[in-house]
């Protein structure tokens, strides 16, 4: 049995003090309903991806469902750190292909900026092992700085190559009205910005944000009935890596991404060279460079050189909606946001950022600093 995406929606990312979390969830929900041409009563179940540690409201799925008018249909929350809504999409796919539901709403939503930066840093720092790592003052940037330093030492990757990722993604973010940052930057500006965790500068790091995105998934029969252009989930991969960096044998790769991508490629019966457009998890610039290699888009150690091939017209255009770097990173919403971008591409609706003739796309969503990875391959 197949599952197709028939409706999508996306809020503006950024500081959203103008809305509650329920109101923030409502924005892409209504857009996705209209896109699919269905009523809320047609939705059999809802799965919400969010990280509740950032929110005052406990059991956030309940208040959101009530606000959206979706009772008494079932709802629950999935949590896999920054991969939460990609995990929700995988769960929806499993429910549909198992025949338990026909139409499922997947909603990624996060309000992070109700918390002060100091509190967010503490929460992010606890994404690693709280017994053996967090007591030493870890932050999220610290972890990715270790990856960057390891990649530089082993392969000769440079700060300029890291900065070029930020330049590319801000270039495309400048054309995305939903992005948090819509201004171009230069390599010089990246390298002149404050060091956050050496060698990562301020502009090597994505920003915390508020935001939401929605995906409506249906079984094969309903997809064909309701949509002229359903986008099929043709390959799904998921894997994990050790939670503690102390137990990882290598810090220049995320083994979870390698494993998950190989599973997804096998299910979709494609190779990395078949991918026309990709969204990869660029929480830090080094993360995008590692993703190029982990996904098989380029050879090991060549990720820093591959950035020029990730523009429109290059070998594989990547993050041409701005990525996390320009869009912002409301962690519960990021996975759905990536899939939203791929669906727009495969439908030919991406405007100035459109990849000509895109038929196969890949979304790569990392949770934490590599503990979780979820890959979705989509096709027309």
Query: 91-105 pLDDT, tens per residue?
Result: 999 999 999 999 999
CA dihedral 48, 51, 53, 54 (to 10 degrees): -100
Q: What is the pLDDT of residue 111?
A: 94
Please compute the mean of the pLDDT values over residues 40-53 and round it to a whole number.
95
Please tell me whether residue 76 adopts helix, strand or coil conformation.
strand
At residue 124, what are phi and psi to the nearest 5 degrees? -60, -40
Q: What is the pLDDT of residue 304?
A: 98
Please compute the mean of the pLDDT values over residues 326-335 and round it to a whole number.
97
Exactly one of 101, 329, 364, 369 is catalytic; name it.
Answer: 329
pTM tops 0.85:
yes
Radius of gyration of the chain (CA): 19
Please compute the mean of the pLDDT values over residues 259-274 and round it to a whole number.
98
The domains located in the chain, with CATH, are 3-115+208-226 (3.40.47.10)
- Percent of the chain at pLDDT exceeding 70: 100
Exactly one of 82, 205, 283, 336 is catalytic; name it.
Answer: 82
Tokens 């400048």, residue located: 174
Q: Quick check: is 82 catalytic?
A: yes
200-211 tens-digit pLDDT: 999 999 999 999
**Quick one: 317 exposed, middle or buried, by C-beta within 10 A (0-12, 13-18, 19+)?**
buried
Please compute the mean of the pLDDT values over residues 113-141 and round it to a whole number.
80
Please compute the mean of the pLDDT values over residues 363-376 and round it to a whole number.
96
Q: Quick check: is 170 catalytic?
A: no
Higher per-residue pLDDT: 249 or 155? 155
Confidence bin at 243 (pLDDT 50/70/90): confident
Measured in whole angstroms, the distance separating CA 114 from the mean position of its chain's CA atoms is 21
Closest CA to 146 of 251, 240, 244, 250: 251
Confidence bin at 286 (pLDDT 50/70/90): very high
């Amino acid at each position: 049995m197949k599952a197709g995406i028939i409706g999508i929606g996306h809020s503006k990312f950024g500081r959203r003090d103008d809305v509650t979390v329920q109101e923030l969830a409502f924005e892409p929900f209504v857009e996705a309903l209209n896109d699919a041409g269905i009523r809320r009563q047609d939705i059999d179940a809802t799965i919400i991806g969010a990280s509740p540690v950032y929110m005052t409201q406990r059991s956030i799925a309940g208040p959101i469902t009530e606000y959206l008018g979706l009772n008494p249909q079932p709802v629950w929350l999935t949590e896999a750190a920054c991969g939460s809504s990609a995990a929700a999409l995988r769960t929806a796919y499993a429910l549909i292909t198992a025949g338990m539901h026909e139409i499922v709403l997947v909603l990624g939503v996060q309000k992070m900026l109700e918390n002060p930066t100091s509190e967010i840093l503490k929460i992010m720092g606890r994404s690693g092992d709280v017994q053996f790592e967090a007591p030493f003052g870890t932050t999220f940037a610290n972890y990715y700085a270790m990856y960057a330093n390891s990649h530089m030492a082993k392969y000769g990757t440079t700060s300029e190559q890291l900065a070029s990722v930020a330049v590319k993604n801000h270039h495309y973010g400048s054309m995305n009205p939903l992005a948090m940052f819509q201004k171009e930057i230069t390599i010089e500006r990246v390298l002149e910005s404050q060091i956050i965790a050496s060698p990562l500068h301020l502009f090597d790091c994505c920003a915390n944000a508020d935001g939401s995105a929605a995906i409506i998934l249906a079984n094969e029969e309903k997809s064909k009935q309701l949509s002229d252009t359903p986008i099929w989930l043709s390959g799904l991969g998921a894997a994990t890596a050790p939670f503690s960096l102390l137990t990882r044998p290598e810090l220049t790769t995320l083994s979870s991404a390698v494993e998950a991508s190989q599973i997804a490629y096998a299910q979709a019966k494609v190779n990395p060279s078949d991918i026309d457009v990709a969204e990869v998890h660029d929480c830090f610039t080094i993360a995008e460079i590692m993703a190029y290699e982990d996904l098989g888009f380029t050879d090991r150690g060549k990720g820093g050189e591959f950035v020029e091939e990730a523009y429109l017209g290059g070998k594989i255009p990547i993050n041409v909606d701005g990525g996390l770097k320009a869009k912002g990173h409301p962690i519960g919403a990021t996975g759905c946001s990536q899939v939203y971008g791929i669906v727009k591409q495969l439908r030919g609706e991406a405007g100035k950022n459109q990849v000509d003739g895109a038929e196969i796309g890949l979304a790569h969503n990392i949770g934490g600093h590599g503990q979780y990875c979820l890959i979705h391959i989509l096709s027309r």
